[in-house]
Chains A and B, each alone.
Chain A
Amino acid sequence: DIQMTQSPSSLSASVGDRVTITCRASQSISSYLNWYQQKPGKAPKLLIYAASSLQSGVPSRFSGSGSGTDFTLTISSLQPEDFATYYCQQSYSTPPTFGQGTRLEIK
């Protein structure tokens, strides 16, 4: 299985901050990388697919980049509703695997 490692595991930030979360794959996955947001008690929500494509309806303050083994999710200006846990997921090979999550908290 391909291992996905996110950093940091948790992050404190303020409304209006620019935040970057990193995801590293244990082998090259080309651009087969997706990002999800999960709020407590809710299902994950797709934000970014294919490393940098914004899912329909997701605010443009979310962006993704990277290819190969290193990827980033950036939130350009944090809004109150963005405090949640974020997961990366590779779809390069079966089984699809997720990172351990990055919990974004209010400072």
Chain B
Amino acid sequence: QVQLQESGPGLVKPSQTLSLTCTVSGGSISSGSYYWSWIRQPAGKGLEWIGRIYTSGSTNYNPSLKSRVTISVDTSKNQFSLKLSSVTAADTAVYYCARRITGGGDYFDYWGQGTLVTVSS
């Protein structure tokens, strides 16, 4: 059973960089036709896709965040990471990592539990 777990600071100051890591267990991050994604959800609001990475290192980002986002992967640690720069209060949200499967459908089948990141001084 694949499991994902987010980790990182829960509080980030405005203008600084938010950094989160997702650790994948129960399977290799390098196996299969999977993309590894970040999704966020402000309190009481809907879901926003941030971006994804393939284990080759190929990335795609949401155009609305592209200038501030970097997603990277460390296959040796079975982890992938998110960096979001120049954060403001609008970036306060629960951040989820998720596995996106392609082939026979294209959907997010496994999610982490989510981690709340608050942007505040």
- List A85-105 residues whose CB lies under 8 Å from chain B: 87, 89, 91, 94-101
Band of interface residues on A = 20 to 34
State the total of A-B contacts with C-beta under 8 angstroms.
Answer: 56
A84 within 8 Å of B (CB atoms): no
**Alpha-carbon separation in the docked complex, A98 to B37 (Å):** 14
Cross-chain contact A101 with B63 (CB below 8 angstroms): no
User: In the complex the two chains form, is A44's CB within 8 Å of B105's CB?
Assistant: no
Interface of chain A: mostly helix, strand, loop or mixed: loop
Q: Can you name the residue of chain B whose Cβ is closest to the Cβ of A56?
A: B109
Minimum CB distance partner of A50 in chain B:
B105
The CA-CA distance from A94 to B64 in the complex, in Å, is: 12
Q: Cβ of B46 and Cβ of A43 under 8 Å apart? A: no
Q: Tell me whether B106 and A32 are in contact (CB under 8 A).
A: yes
For the complex formed, measure the closest distance between the CB of A72 and the CB atoms of chain B, giving whole angstroms.
17
B68 to chain A, nearest CB (A): 15
CB neighbours of B62 from chain A (8 A): 95
Q: Are B108 and A98 in contact (CB under 8 A)?
A: no
Q: Chain A interface (Cβ within 8 Å of chain B)? A: 1, 32, 34, 36, 42-46, 49-50, 53, 55, 87, 89, 91, 94-101
